[in-house]
Amino acid sequence: MNATAGESPRLLRALRREPADCTPVWFMRQAGRYLPEYRKLRERHGILDLCWTAELAAEVTLQPLRRFPGLDAAIIFSDILMIAQPMGMQIEFVRSEGPAIRNPVASEADVAELRPVEPQRDLKPVLDAIRLVKRELKVPLIGFCGAPFTLASYLVEGGPSEDYLKTKALMRQPAWPRLMARLTEAVLSHLRAQVAAGADAVQVFDSWVGAVSPEEYRERVMPWSKMIFDALDVPAIHFGTRTAPLLELVRDAGGDAIGVDWRIALDEAWARLGDVAVQGNLDPQALLRTPADLQNRVDDILDRAGGRPGHIFNLGHGILPETPPESVEAVIERVHERTRR
Amino acid sequence: MNATAGESPRLLRALRREPADCTPVWFMRQAGRYLPEYRKLRERHGILDLCWTAELAAEVTLQPLRRFPGLDAAIIFSDILMIAQPMGMQIEFVRSEGPAIRNPVASEADVAELRPVEPQRDLKPVLDAIRLVKRELKVPLIGFCGAPFTLASYLVEGGPSEDYLKTKALMRQPAWPRLMARLTEAVLSHLRAQVAAGADAVQVFDSWVGAVSPEEYRERVMPWSKMIFDALDVPAIHFGTRTAPLLELVRDAGGDAIGVDWRIALDEAWARLGDVAVQGNLDPQALLRTPADLQNRVDDILDRAGGRPGHIFNLGHGILPETPPESVEAVIERVHERTRR
The predicted-structure confidence for B7-24, as pLDDT tens digits, reads as follows 799 999 999 999 999 999
Q: Which residues in chain B have Cβ-Cβ distances shorter than 8 Å to A228?
A: 181
Beta carbons of A226 and B177 less than 8 Å apart:
yes
Q: Which residues in chain B have Cβ-Cβ distances shorter than 8 Å to A184?
A: 227, 231
CB count within 10 Å of CB B100 equals: 17
pLDDT surpassing 50 at residue A188: yes
DSSP E strands, A164-231: 201-206
Interface test with A, best of B117, B122, B185, B229 (most A CBs within 10 A): B185
DSSP E strands, A157-294: 201-206, 236-240, 257-259, 277-282
Q: What is the pLDDT along chain B (341 residues), one digit of tens a residue?
A: 444 445 799 999 999 999 999 999 999 999 999 999 999 999 999 888 999 999 999 999 999 999 999 999 999 999 999 999 999 999 887 766 678 899 999 999 999 999 999 999 999 999 999 999 999 999 999 999 999 999 999 999 998 888 899 999 999 999 999 999 999 999 999 999 999 999 999 999 999 999 999 999 999 999 999 999 999 999 999 999 999 999 999 999 999 999 999 999 999 999 999 999 999 999 999 999 999 999 999 999 999 999 999 999 999 999 999 999 999 999 999 999 999 98
Quick check: A206 and A216 in contact, CB under 8 A? no
pTM: 0.85
Residue type, B131: R
| Per-position b or e across A298-322, b if 16+ CB within 10 A of its CB | beebbebbeeeebbbbbbbbbbbee
Confidence of residue A1 (pLDDT cuts 50, 70, 90): very low
pLDDT surpassing 90 at residue A159: no
What amino acid positions of A are annotated as catalytic residues? 29, 33, 42, 79, 154
The predicted-structure confidence for A224-283, as pLDDT tens digits, reads as follows 999 999 999 999 999 999 999 999 999 999 999 999 999 999 999 999 999 999 999 999
Quick check: B92 and B102 in contact, CB under 8 A? yes
Look at strands B98-101 and B91-94 and give their pairing: antiparallel
Interface test with A, best of B233, B275, B276 (most A CBs within 10 A): B233
Residue B41: phi and psi, rounded to 5, are -65, -40
Q: What's the burial of B47, exposed, middle or buried (CB within 10 Å: 0-12/13-18/19+)?
A: middle
Q: What stretch of H or E contains B166?
A: helix B165-170
The total number of residues shown for chain A amounts to: 341
Q: Which residues in chain A have Cβ-Cβ distances shorter than 8 Å to B181?
A: 226-228, 230-231
Give the pLDDT confidence score for residue B98 in this predicted structure: 75
8-state DSSP, B83: T
Quick check: B147 and B205 in contact, CB under 8 A? yes
Beta carbons of A231 and B192 less than 8 Å apart:
no
Quote the CA–CA distance of B248 and A264 in Å, as a whole number: 43
The total number of residues shown for chain B amounts to: 341
Quote the CA–CA distance of A233 and B84 in Å, as a whole number: 17
Q: Which of A116, A188, A230 has the CB atom closest to B178's CB atom?
A: A230
Residue B24: phi and psi, rounded to 5, are -70, 150
Q: Which residues in chain A have Cβ-Cβ distances shorter than 8 Å to B116?
A: 192, 233
Cα–chain-centroid distance for residue B242? 15
Q: Which of B177, B185, B192 has the CB atom closest to A188's CB atom?
A: B185
Beta carbons of B231 and A184 less than 8 Å apart:
yes
Of the candidate ranges A23-32, A93-102, A193-202, B57-66, the one whose mean pLDDT is the lowest: A93-102
DSSP B230-253: HH--S-EEEEESS-GGGHHHHHHH
Q: Which residues in chain B have Cβ-Cβ distances shorter than 8 Å to A189?
A: 189
Interface test with B, best of A121, A233, A275 (most B CBs within 10 A): A233
What amino acid positions of B are annotated as catalytic residues? 29, 33, 42, 79, 154
Could you tell me what percentage of chain A is helix, strand and coil, using 3-state DSSP and rounding each to the nearest 5?
50, 10, 35
The closest alpha carbon to A224, from A148, A168, A112, belongs to A148
Chain B residues with CB under 8 Å of a chain A CB are 112, 116, 177-178, 180-182, 184-185, 188-189, 192, 223-224, 226-228, 230-231, 233
Average pLDDT in chain B = 94
Give the pLDDT confidence score for residue A4 in this predicted structure: 45
Distance to chain B for A273, nearest Cα, Å: 17
Quote the CA–CA distance of A330 and A289 in Å, as a whole number: 12
Distance to chain B for A180, nearest Cα, Å: 8
Confidence of residue A5 (pLDDT cuts 50, 70, 90): very low
Residues of chain A above pLDDT 90, percent: 92
Look at strands B236-240 and A91-94 and give their pairing: unpaired
Q: What stretch of H or E contains A212?
A: none
Beta bridge partners of B239: B205, B259
* Distances B203 to B200, B234, B254, B258, B298 between C-alpha atoms, Å: 10, 10, 11, 10, 22
CATH, range A10-339: 3.20.20.210
Quote the CA–CA distance of A75 and A205 in Å, as a whole number: 12
Residues A179-207: what's their mean pLDDT?
97
Give domain limits for chain A: 10-339
pLDDT surpassing 60 at residue A2: no
Distance to chain B for A178, nearest Cα, Å: 4
